[in-house]
């Protein structure tokens, strides 16, 4: 014999279904909140930054003497160069600036008497040779094998590949240079 049914047999089922829907929505909300990624729109630019400076001296001046300078840069079998002049004006805020596009990369140099910054962007060269000349005479030569650090400027798991950057320093011997 069958047990007697209540006249409103749907009420317990509705309550049970409503509870399952509420629990499912709650769990979906909690799990969605745990997976939210916060990403920024910071540009990801890989490359090598090279600080060029004169060696410390006993005298008061660390500045490069006036003249016409040329930087020859060879990286990953590609050659480029930048030329700049340093004026005879001492203690000024004048600087020489050189930017040269080269294939998919760019080489940019900013020089201000005693300190320069060479940037090789959009590529990550593993073998870099820099030769500095003044008035046609070589005054410094150095080869670099940069070690790149990877980082994600837009946040973890936001970029498909990391940005790769390396920094190095080239010391130019103090003057006097051959004329």
Neighbours of 163 (CB within 10 A): 19
The pTM of this model reads 0.66
CA–CA distance, 179 with 177 (Å, rounded to integer) = 6
Q: What is the pLDDT along the chain (179 residues), one digit of tens a residue?
A: 565 555 555 555 556 676 777 677 656 655 555 555 678 877 788 888 888 887 776 554 556 777 888 888 888 888 888 887 777 665 544 455 566 555 556 677 776 655 678 888 778 888 999 999 999 999 999 999 999 999 888 887 787 888 899 999 998 887 777 66
Omega cis (within 30) before 113: no
Q: Where are the domains of the chain?
A: 47-172
């Amino acid at each position: 014999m069958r047990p007697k049914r209540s006249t409103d047999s749907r009420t317990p089922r509705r309550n049970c279904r409503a509870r399952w829907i509420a629990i499912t929505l709650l769990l979906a909300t909690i799990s969605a909140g745990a997976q939210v990624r916060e990403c920024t729109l910071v540009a990801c630019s890989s490359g090598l930054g090279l600080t060029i400076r004169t060696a410390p001296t006993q005298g008061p001046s660390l500045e490069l003497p006036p003249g016409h300078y040329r930087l020859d840069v060879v990286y990953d079998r590609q050659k480029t160069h930048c030329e700049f002049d340093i004026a005879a004006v001492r203690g000024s805020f004048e600087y020489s600036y050189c930017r040269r596009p080269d294939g998919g990369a760019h080489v940019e140099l900013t020089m201000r008497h005693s300190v320069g910054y060479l940037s090789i962007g959009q590529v990550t060269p593993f073998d870099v040779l820099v030769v500095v000349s003044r008035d046609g005479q070589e005054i410094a030569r150095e080869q670099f094998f940069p070690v790149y650090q990877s980082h994600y400027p837009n946040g973890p798991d936001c970029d498909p590949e990391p940005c790769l950057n390396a920094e190095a320093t080239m010391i130019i011997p103090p003057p006097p240079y051959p004329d």
